Amino acid sequence: MSLVEELMNIYLNPDNWTDKNFEKAKRILETLLKFQMQQVYRLLVEKPLNYKRLEKFIKLMSILNETKKEMLDEGNS
């Protein structure tokens, strides 16, 4: 089962909404975000970095970090 399928299984089945599964879902989301950040980084670094590309990279990383913060904040509330 893929990480996304596992996450959806937890989300779609209210019987799975336990503290243990919440922690598992949180770890899955963090893993997916890290993977996405690595993909973005690879795409930008494979080509010579110029100012515009660096600017886009910084913007994407800040969006991903904000998304992660929001998800963690929602989980803590």
Per-residue pLDDT of the chain (77 residues; tens, 9 = 90+): 788 888 888 888 888 788 888 888 888 888 888 888 888 777 767 766 677 777 887 888 888 888 878 877 776 66
User: Quick check: pTM over 0.85?
Assistant: no
Q: Which pLDDT score, from 0 to 100, does residue 57 have?
A: 77
Q: Which pLDDT score, from 0 to 100, does residue 33 have?
A: 85
Domain residue limits, the chain: 3-76
Give residue for tokens 């600017």.
55
Structure tokens at 56: 């886009």
Is the alpha carbon torsion for 20, 26, 27, 29 positive or negative?
positive
Burial (CB count <10 Å: 0-12, 13-18, 19+), residue 25? buried
